[in-house]
Structure 1
Amino acid sequence: QKSSTMLYADKRALETNLKVELLEIREKELNFYTNNCQNIGTQAAMLAGFAFAGMMQPLPDQPEVLRVLFLVSTVSALGLQLVTVVTTTLLSMLSPGLALRGPDGSMHTAVDGMVDEYRLSFYTFMLGLIATHFAAAFFVWLVFLWWQAAVLSFCIFFSLAMLYRMTRAHPRGDRRRYGGDMGRCGNA
């Protein structure tokens, strides 16, 4: 009787220690994504400011098509970056709050939800960055001589190509490599 009770107590202690270690790992994940959200939100706010300043620029009346394209891309950049700012701010505030004050198991819910929403925020940020590049390209064709605009457009699209290359080179979190569902152990 005593040995089975001791064995059961050892099992419970091992499970408790495992849960504590797992929660420490999940807390590190939560802090990682919270910091990333704050960083992306800061950059998105800066780019939204650039887009707003771009809308205030006096533009020549002709060609009308380029003016409309410039304004559409500028407003799109502004909107996408503001959505990113709001989303990342809410994620940075609400996810740690859920993890700290939620019911048992809410750390996992907070981190898993934050990962998904972080990805959407990152994609929104990238779309806003692309719209900013297009706004710059349309702007140079409105304001500069054709040969100057061609050189500047080349630089802008080279920057876009490098941005694409860097995001494609970004390592993906392939869950299959780590054995399936990361961060979960039983009912922890």
Structure 2
Amino acid sequence: MEPVTLETDRLILRPFAPKDVDAVYDACQDRDIQYYTPVPVPYEREHAEQRVQEEWPQGWASDKDYTLGAFRRDGGALVGSYCLTRLSRGVYELGYWAVREQRGHGYSAEAARALCDWGWATLDVHRMEWWAMVGNTGSRAVAEKLGFTLEGTLRSRGIANDGEPHDWWVGGLLRP
């Protein structure tokens, strides 16, 4: 699928471009992003280059991962990364991270809602899932704001970057 650009009142969601590598690299230096999301640690500039220039465009080309960067209209600052990933027929996972300085302003819910709305309208989706390591209360708040229902806690579901197994929350959102 060809990448799309989405707009909200305060944000532009667009595919990441080579000019965004430094912003992605800077954002992923945040300890919370490194702890709660599956990014390499330490996060090197080469990792940002690989994601921006190869991994994320390949996701669109393969119709499996639809990643967009959210940028503020008032100055163009990176807000975060927002992605729908196909898990199985009709089921997609919503994933996201937000730049530390952009948290707490409602941007993540705004960006994720725009991406979910696009997914409902464009993809063959009947269910969206959200996963987060227990303790990631910011991610959970965004998911709940979007209408996801917390469906459970999976014990020791994944190994985090600290090398230890952690419990994970899972939530679901059904086609409106």
TM-score, normalised by the number of residues in structure 1: 0.28
Quick one: higher RCO (CA 8 Å, sep 6+), 1 or 2? 1
- Of structures 1 and 2, the larger Rg is shown by 1
TM-score, normalised by the number of residues in structure 2: 0.29
**Structure with the higher helix share, 1 or 2:** 1
